[in-house]
Chains A and B, each alone.
Chain A
Amino acid sequence: MSEGSDELVLDRLIHEPARLAILTVLSSVRAADFVFLQRTTGLTQGNLSSHLTKLEDAGLVRIEKSFVGRRPNTSASLTPVGKERTAAHWEQLERLKGLATSSRNP
């Protein structure tokens, strides 16, 4: 899809279902740890790690590694850019849905 102010543009990085789920969960909280993200998305540890790395590399999430007692803890939060792009992506999806509905019911 081409860019344009009124045309639909889907963010390919965010549109991947697993990453969209991760970003959507993080948009409702200030931060969430790895266990919570794994539980809500149903992804394996490896898959979740890979998706988080991709999102971190793109500047959409911030990853913090720490220790809780002696246990390693990984926590993720959305960056301001991540928040904005996630919201924009859902808006685009809603617009697409609206277009699809109106084309079915002219």
Chain B
Amino acid sequence: MERRHLESAAADYPYLQGLWTIPLGIGIIVAGVSNLQSRPTGFGAMALILGGLAIAGAATLMIGRYYRDHYGTVTPTRERTIRQAVAIVAWIAILFIGANQALFWSPDGPQCIYASAFALATLAYYAILVGLRPHHLVIWGAVFAAGLLPIWGGLGADRDPLAMIPLGLAAMLSGLLDQRLLARSFAMPAGDRLEGTRVGG
């Protein structure tokens, strides 16, 4: 039995429930699409927003039930709760600074600083909360780099809303890989199985 494995599986469990990024990613994508210049209006806009909310809402209920029934629930320690608060503040601060930095760049510039700031903020969040895993570095590193590439020129006011589509997809992909990591951390090698130990003694 590996002590560190048991401890980290328990301590990291609330923060590696990657399926939550599905409604989050849907929300990010819907927010992006609904801010495009050529966004749907009238009934189309309402359908987009309500449809997105309905899907995200249904997903949230199903995901909550899934984790509760298949993995159970834990109450994190105070230290972890404080660490999560710090991670959230860091995420907001980095995104805010990054978004402000973007104001000093040409709004029609060829980079998308918002996307890079989002990626950096998310990397900081994971680093503070559970430690960076390889897939965090790959996915969010790629998004960070993509934001700095001079490929976003000519999009005007649509630049940041359009960037929210790959951001939402990246969030979902990162979350699905977190979920895979979570599932693996709960899979017990045959040699470590405790079943068959006598009660008592």
Chain A interface (Cβ within 8 Å of chain B)? 12, 16-18, 20-21, 24-44, 47, 50-51, 54, 68, 75, 77, 90
Contact = CB atoms under 8 A, between A and B. Distances in A.
Nearest to A24: B6
B61 interface: no
Interface string B185-201: 01010000111011111
Contacts of A24: 1, 3, 6-7
Interface residues of B, number: 30
Nearest to B79: A30
Contacts, number: 94
Q: Top 3 A-B pairs ranked by shortest CB distance? A: A36-B72, A35-B72, A28-B10
A34 B193 CA distance: 18
Interface stretch (B22-30, B33-41, B63-71): B63-71
A16 B72 contact: no
B77 A18 contact: no
B67 to A, nearest CB: 10
B197 A17 contact: yes
Contact of A51 (B7, B68, B199): B199
B194 A42 contact: yes
B195 A42 contact: yes
B11 A29 contact: yes
Contacts of A20: 1
